[in-house]
Structure 1
Amino acid sequence: MTADVSARRRRDIIDALRRGAVPMNGLDALAVGLDRFVTAFDEDLDRVSGGGSVFKAVRGEYGAGKTFLTRWLAERAKRRGLAAAEVQISETETPLHRMETVYRRLVERLSTEQFPPSALRPVLDGWTFALEEDVLATGQVAEDDAEALDRAVGDLMEKRLAGVARDTSAFAAALRAYRSAVSTGDPATADGLAAWLGGQPHVAAAVRRTAGVKGDLDHFGALSFLQGLLTVLRDSGHPGLLLVLDEVETLQRMRSDARDKALNALRQLVDEVHSGRFPGLFLVITGTPAFYDGPQGAQRLAPLAQRLATDFGPDARWDNPRAVQIRLPGFTVESLTALGRKVRGLYGSPAVDARVDDAYLAELATAVAGRLGGKVGVAPRVYLKKLVADVLDRVDQFPDYDPRQHYALTLRSDELTDVERNAAASADDIDLPL
């Protein structure tokens, strides 16, 4: 696998791990224990590409790999031509009960295999180009007849927007005005209309008047805008959208009234996906077991709990990857060591290969977990950060550096997340030199 990863992508992966972050790309090269999900996810992606819609809930403790899994899935989706967006749910920045904010973040994080976030403008331009290509493909309009081509494209656009206009006439009107602004060479108006289509507030009134639309996007209009976006994606060559709502457990920290609104908004969104309102949408949420099972999470709203209910047995080997909720059991020392071997291979250094053997990778994994109270599931981020920044980099740069002799593992409070810090505080006061 590592032989298939370009030098630039390897560097990007290693740089992200050095910072203690999940890489944005190249995740196939790091995947450990995800093989059992491949068939079910590919079936879901096929369904979405064919005009269906899918909802999936991912369950796992901190460090189990939820963000990694969804970014890995996003890579698979984009290789199939789908667009993808990852939205971090936050009690202040992106509250789940304000769908207009969720939609705006979705557009800001929208990406395709060819274009990084935000890919809205390339998607809109691809949509107008696809309309022209479809008109020319009929053979009824000559390419050099600009007036006839413009008229035919307008007629086709109206047909394509008929379904969108029924649900959100404002979205369709803004699309028409956007195409007109682009075709007449008015970039300022086109930029403003693209921003309005992306849910951005405070778009100039003069820009909105060109499309005959008023005000900013609200909670209820956001779902209709999502329908419109899916239509544009489909017509521009992207058969669907993978939308990840990450860390939904954060809504447990909200005030009770806001939390109840957020849970109901999630229930409504799940129901809309199942009803077929959003053809081409693959909606994924991630959360901790406390969110799915605790009194301040999904269990607080019985209809939502019923929709998420999944029977997990004591042995994760028999979990059903096709179930509405899937479980990530978390890392063990063995799987953490396997991950370390993948990182060592990606690093691509003869010195590293010679002086950092499998036994040392296991020793480091055990030591990091020990410093975190024996909680191996919390250890992956710290383990990979220490492995790359403190061990592999030094071995690669200093010919006489021996990690067994010269490296002593330390964990500073300021380099840990709250969860990692709490785990470290629970560790026994035992010296674990490495």
Structure 2
Amino acid sequence: MIDNIKPKEATAIINSLLGGVVPKIGLQHITVGRSAEVEAFISSLEDVKNGHSMVKFWIGDFGSGKSFMMHLLNTVALKQKFVVANADFTPDNRLYANDGKAVALYSAIMDNIAIQTKPEGGALVTLLEKWIEQIITKTAQDKGISLADIKEEQHLPAIQNNIVRTINEITEVGGFDFGMVVMKYYEGYIKDDEQLRRSALKWLKGEYRTKTEARQDLGVREIIHDLNYYDMLKNFCKLFVSMGYSGFMINLDEAINLYKISTTVIREKNYEKILTIYNDCFQGKVSNFFINFAGTQEVLENERRGLFSYHALKSRLGTNKFETLEVRDFSQPVIRLLPLNHNEIFVLLKKLKAIFDFNYKVQLNITDEEIQLFMEEIFNKPGASEFLTPREVIRDFLNILSIIRQNPGINKQQLFGEIEIRDERPGESAVDSLVDSIEVL
């Protein structure tokens, strides 16, 4: 039996893993074989809490657990009172662009902001209103006015002055417009003007496409765009820390979509942006900021299109030459996620069987020996060594449990024998060939 699991967590775990995605909650119940990585990560969080900043690259094969690791890092960071956010690189979300694709990444980050009381995201409004309440309380104390009276409209200028002063103290680039928009949000908050609050939130999330529209709605001169969104992320980091949070952590998954950018110049500009973030964090130009990137070995090491094709990154991201499979260094920027071994997968499958039983209120007659038999069948199939991923093992196992639950008399060994190995990897070779052709042209 899994200790302290909640029904909501059990359902999320089973449904998500059956769908081939990582559950957003309950990861602590299915974490196996990553204790060393998590311990090193907690140590890094302590450094970031103390004012340092950090960049980590989590590298592993498809299905090796990169996305799982990103979500696990979130769970750990939330408990350490970090504000966290997840976003995936896609063909339309990048670090650098001149056609709106970079600000689209920023918008995805802001949509997914989470705190411990809202771990599934959508916490930006909660944070804004919490910060505004802190400003209101401080203004009331400074003015000797009760909290009930300070929210009356005649005290609006005093609140606004404190908002502007506080914003000016914590921001560097874009602080004026940022402060103006927060003031507008407060104005909508105090006057119960939902449209004004929505407009302010739209600006803060980078959803305005023209300055004219933003000026009409909010009276500001600037909008968040491809070239200034990173400065705004740093401003939010300082804001969150000023509220009492430990820092701001952003996880960026699916770095393969930067590798796949067909235009060499644009791809290198994205790598240049990674270099800028890396240098800012490790040279102390930004505080309490933690960014994690997740990608495959090809994304990191390919000399023509990977991160190593950009010399300044290659020199920074080289592996510690004294590291081996047995002797690991988790303090370096690149963390290579090794596949789970068979013992670890066995422990994981036992955990999943217990969660499955709890979720469906059943007690399936599956013994440890039968779990081992399932593993022998799947790992000895033709193609298993080349194509089999933990994701596919988990999904096949849960699919078999689903069949047994609904068909109690079925022959389990026959089910195990019907397992087929599929190549779940994206067609990189085709992408490589296409991009190579484009680059030659």
TM-score interval (norm. to shorter):
0.7 to 0.9
**Cα offsets for 1:35-81 (capped at 9, x unmatched):** 11232211222222333211111111112211111100101111222
**Cα offsets for 1:160-218 (capped at 9, x unmatched):** 21134532122222112221222222110110111111111337946534543245422
Q: Counterparts of 2:253 and 2:46 in 1: how far apart (Å)?
A: 23
Give the match for residue 249 of structure 1: 256
Letter in 1 for 2:406: Q
Matched position secondary structure for 1:145: helix
Q: Counterparts of 1:184 and 1:351 in 2: how far apart (Å)?
A: 50
- 2:245 maps to 1:238: yes
* 1:112 shift after superposition: 1.7
Give the match for residue 199 of structure 1: 206
* 1:237 shift after superposition: 4.2
* 1:317 shift after superposition: 2.7
Structure 2 unaligned segments of length 5 or more: list them: 430-441
Q: Counterparts of 1:185 and 1:241 in 2: how far apart (Å)?
A: 30
In structure 2, the CA distance between the partners of 1:313 and 1:293, relative to structure 1 (3 Å rule), is farther
Give the match for residue 2 of structure 2: 2
TM-score normalised by the chain length of structure 2: 0.86
- Which of the residues 98, 103, 107 maps onto 2:110? 107
- 2:134 maps to 1:130: yes
Structure 1 unaligned segments of length 5 or more: list them: 423-434
- Which of the residues 125, 137, 144 maps onto 1:140? 144
Identity of aligned residues (%): 18
Give the match for residue 284 of structure 1: 292
Aligned residues: CA RMSD:
2.8
* 1:353 shift after superposition: 5.6
Give the match for residue 158 of structure 1: 164
* 1:119 shift after superposition: 1.9
Q: Note if contact 2:171-2:238 (Cα within 8 Å) is conserved in structure 1.
A: no
Letter in 1 for 2:59: R
Q: Note if contact 2:64-2:391 (Cα within 8 Å) is conserved in structure 1.
A: no
**Cα offsets for 1:63-104 (capped at 9, x unmatched):** 2211111100101111222121111112x2212323423211
In structure 2, the CA distance between the partners of 1:182 and 1:323, relative to structure 1 (3 Å rule), is same
Give the match for residue 437 of structure 2: none
Give the match for residue 52 of structure 1: 52
Q: Note if contact 1:111-1:119 (Cα within 8 Å) is conserved in structure 2.
A: yes
* 1:118 shift after superposition: 2.4
**Cα offsets for 1:385-428 (capped at 9, x unmatched):** 11112x21233333323412455434486xx6344999xxxxxx
Matched position secondary structure for 2:330: coil
Q: Counterparts of 2:404 and 2:376 in 1: how far apart (Å)?
A: 20
- 2:410 maps to 1:401: yes
Q: Counterparts of 1:202 and 1:372 in 2: how far apart (Å)?
A: 52
Q: Counterparts of 1:166 and 1:38 in 2: how far apart (Å)?
A: 33
In structure 2, the CA distance between the partners of 1:202 and 1:342, relative to structure 1 (3 Å rule), is same
The alignment covers a number of residue pairs equal to 418
* 1:372 shift after superposition: 6.5
In structure 2, the CA distance between the partners of 1:239 and 1:134, relative to structure 1 (3 Å rule), is farther
Q: Note if contact 2:381-2:421 (Cα within 8 Å) is conserved in structure 1.
A: no
Give the match for residue 434 of structure 2: none
Name which of structure 1's ranges 151-160 and 254-263 shifts more when overlaid on structure 2. 151-160
Letter in 2 for 1:244: N
Question: What does residue range 253-332 of structure 1 map to in structure 2 within 5 Å?
Answer: 253-255=260-262, 256-295=264-303, 296-311=305-320, 315-332=324-341
Q: Note if contact 1:372-1:379 (Cα within 8 Å) is conserved in structure 2.
A: no
Matched position secondary structure for 1:326: strand
Name which of structure 1's ranges 188-197 and 242-251 shifts more when overlaid on structure 2. 242-251
In structure 2, the CA distance between the partners of 1:13 and 1:37, relative to structure 1 (3 Å rule), is same
Q: Counterparts of 1:213 and 1:100 in 2: how far apart (Å)?
A: 18
Q: Counterparts of 1:257 and 1:206 in 2: how far apart (Å)?
A: 32
- Which of the residues 327, 343, 348 maps onto 2:357? 348
TM-score normalised by the chain length of structure 1: 0.87
Q: Note if contact 1:62-1:377 (Cα within 8 Å) is conserved in structure 2.
A: no
Letter in 1 for 2:63: G
* 1:238 shift after superposition: 2.9
Question: What does residue range 51-130 of structure 1 map to in structure 2 within 5 Å?
Answer: 51-90=51-90, 92-98=91-97, 99-115=102-118, 116-130=120-134
Matched position secondary structure for 2:86: strand
Q: Note if contact 2:62-2:425 (Cα within 8 Å) is conserved in structure 1.
A: no
Name which of structure 1's ranges 49-58 and 346-355 shifts more when overlaid on structure 2. 346-355
